[in-house]
């Protein structure tokens, strides 16, 4: 029966583990899929947002190349300026439009005058958006740049070269500056499915749009490197990353989720499987217990019938209790007899060997060896019965005086008594022995002229092997005997 129930329980546990692991993987993948879907929506929105402005810039460069000529004299650029102002008005998030030719002449709208020093220092041809567009005339380029006219340190710049429609030469660059805060607002207002971070970076590992998170530059470099090796998502440093490209494949929208967050969600959703398995095991345990109890009752009735010849169902519980109680009493009695000296009531040598071995390395334990003085003379003078009575009396006085202290007394052999002190200082141990010795000295016996005393040697345990500690206690006991008996030598 026990084997059958054990096999069923093991089967339940195995099925629960398999189902739990399968559900865990499915929930983890479902959560990652939700995060990828969320990232796809955010990337699609940003991509359409930037692509709309890119289309406007591309159309502006085509018209500028075909219909407008750039003149370094401001009074001849009125038509170009009016045309640029009309385009700027239809772009709500645009901060400015800059038209630059290859000689460094530029028109910036809205017009904001620069100081003479700033005007001399600022050359649009040195800006990254100009140099990249001049070198590559096929694609629109996205970059984060500084707008000195608006005193903004970071703006999104979409730049395209202006190609002459007649000979195909590059006549300059048209750049559109967008408000970076608008793109940051898009990321802040999006609601992710779990606690996460979404940001935009370039393929060199530099932040482009950051809603206010703190990043280690080394982590960003590692993300950029992994984005080249893995397609769509990857796990790094206990974090799940999903990414999508936007802006002519030049920027990455990255979604970061802690693996622990996904694990907590999976754990909560897998709790039903865990609780179901536990409930099944509890029911199975109850069935096992009920079956076992029923079988035990049947066996007890059979045993009672064999004993008395009749079955009394009402006495089954009492019979079990009596059997268990008597068995415990027998075990306690056997254990007590095995570890107790029959004459003195002290622990015997076997108990001493076990306790001394257990406490031999305890630096807070003390060991004392006691020997009754002139015990052979007592036996020879008054007989062995009186000698046994003296030994028992000394032991009783020792047990009575120890009180609630952690002190254990053992009959070591013959008239020798061993004492182990646990967690008691040497001074308190010696004080206890002195009090015991004085009490024995002042004890009056019925036998005339019978005076009893003992000598003792006290040593600290834990500093040496048990054999050396016993030898130390014996040496000090011998020294007490040599010095006149009825004394205690501790050091």
Give the pLDDT confidence of 423-442 residue by residue, as tens digits: 999 999 999 999 999 999 99
pLDDT for position 75:
44
Give the structural domain span for 405. Answer: 340-489
Written as six digits, the tokens of 6 are 């054990």
pLDDT for position 432:
93
- Cite the active site residues: 415
Mean pLDDT by 10 residues, the chain (491 residues): 81 83 86 89 88 86 70 57 80 85 81 69 80 72 80 83 74 86 84 90 87 89 88 89 82 91 84 82 85 78 65 51 62 71 89 91 92 92 92 92 84 92 92 94 89 94 90 94 93 72
Residue 80 belongs to a domain: no
DSSP three-state, residue 154:
strand
Count: domains in the chain = 1
pTM: 0.51
Interatomic CA distance for residues 304 and 126, integer angstroms: 107
Residue 254 belongs to a domain: no
Residue 361 belongs to a domain: yes
257 beta partners: 240
Residue 132 belongs to a domain: no
pLDDT for position 469:
93
Cβ(161)–Cβ(187) below 8 Å: no
pLDDT for position 385:
92
CATH of the domain at 485: 3.30.70.270
Distance set, CA 111 to CA 81, 108, 248, 287 (Å): 10, 6, 30, 88
Written as six digits, the tokens of 147 are 């707008």
Residue 59 belongs to a domain: no
Cα 257 versus chain centre, distance: 19
Distance set, CA 207 to CA 184, 215, 332, 411 (Å): 12, 9, 77, 83
Q: Side by side, which strands form the sheet with 488-489?
A: 407-413, 416-422, 365-372, 454-460, 488-489
Written as six digits, the tokens of 16 are 């629960």
Residue 205 belongs to a domain: no
Q: For residue range 180-205, what is the model confidence (pLDDT) as tens digits?
A: 888 888 888 888 888 999 999 888 88
pLDDT for position 106:
81
Residue 36 belongs to a domain: no
């Amino acid at each position: 029966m026990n084997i059958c129930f054990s096999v069923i329980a093991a089967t339940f546990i195995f099925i629960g583990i398999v189902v739990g692991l399968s559900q865990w993987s499915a929930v983890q993948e479902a959560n990652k899929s939700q995060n990828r879907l969320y990232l796809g929506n955010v990337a699609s929105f940003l991509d359409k947002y930037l692509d709309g402005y890119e289309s406007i810039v591309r159309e502006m460069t085509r018209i500028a190349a075909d219909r407008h000529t750039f003149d370094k004299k401001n009074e001849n650029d009125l038509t170009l300026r009016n045309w640029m102002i009309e385009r700027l008005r239809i772009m709500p998030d645009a901060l400015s439009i800059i038209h630059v030719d290859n000689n460094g002449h530029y028109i910036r709208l809205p017009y904001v005058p620069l100081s003479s020093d700033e005007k001399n220092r600022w050359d649009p041809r040195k800006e990254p958006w100009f140099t990249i567009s001049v070198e590559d005339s096929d694609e629109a380029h996205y970059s984060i740049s500084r707008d000195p006219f608006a005193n903004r340190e970071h703006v999104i710049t979409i730049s395209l070269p202006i190609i002459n429609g007649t000979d195909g030469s590059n006549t300059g660059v048209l750049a559109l500056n967008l408000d970076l805060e608008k793109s940051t607002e898009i990321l802040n207002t999006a609601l992710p499915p779990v606690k996460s971070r979404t940001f935009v970076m370039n393929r060199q590992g530099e932040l482009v749009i950051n809603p206010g998170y703190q990043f280690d530059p080394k982590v960003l470099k590692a993300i950029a490197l992994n984005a080249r090796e893995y397609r769509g998502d990857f796990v790094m440093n206990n974090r799940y990353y999903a990414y999508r490209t936007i802006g002519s494949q030049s920027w990455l929208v990255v979604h970061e989720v802690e693996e622990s967050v996904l694990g907590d969600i999976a754990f909560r959703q897998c709790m039903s499987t865990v609780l179901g398995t536990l409930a099944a095991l509890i029911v199975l345990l109850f069935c096992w217990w009920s079956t076992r109890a029923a079988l035990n009752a049947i066996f007890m009735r059979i045993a009672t019938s064999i004993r008395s010849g009749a079955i009394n169902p009402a006495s089954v519980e009492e019979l079990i209790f009596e059997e268990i109680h008597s068995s415990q009493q027998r075990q306690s009695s056997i254990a007590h007899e095995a570890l107790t000296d029959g004459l003195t009531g002290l622990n015997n040598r076997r108990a001493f060997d076990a306790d001394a071995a257990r406490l031999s390395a305890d630096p807070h334990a003390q060991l004392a060896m006691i020997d009754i003085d002139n015990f052979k003379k007592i036996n020879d003078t008054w007989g062995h019965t009186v000698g046994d009575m003296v030994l028992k009396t000394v032991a009783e006085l020792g047990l009575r005086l120890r009180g609630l202290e952690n002190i254990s007394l053992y009959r070591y052999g013959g008239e020798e008594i061993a004492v182990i002190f646990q967690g008691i200082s040497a001074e308190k141990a010696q004080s206890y022995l002195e009090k015991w010795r004085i009490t024995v000295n002042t004890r009056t016996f019925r036998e005339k002229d019978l005076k009893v005393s003992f000598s003792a040697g006290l040593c600290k345990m834990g500093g040496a092997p048990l054999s050396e500690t016993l030898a130390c206690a014996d040496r000090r006991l011998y020294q007490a005997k040599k010095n006149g008996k009825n004394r205690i030598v501790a050091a």
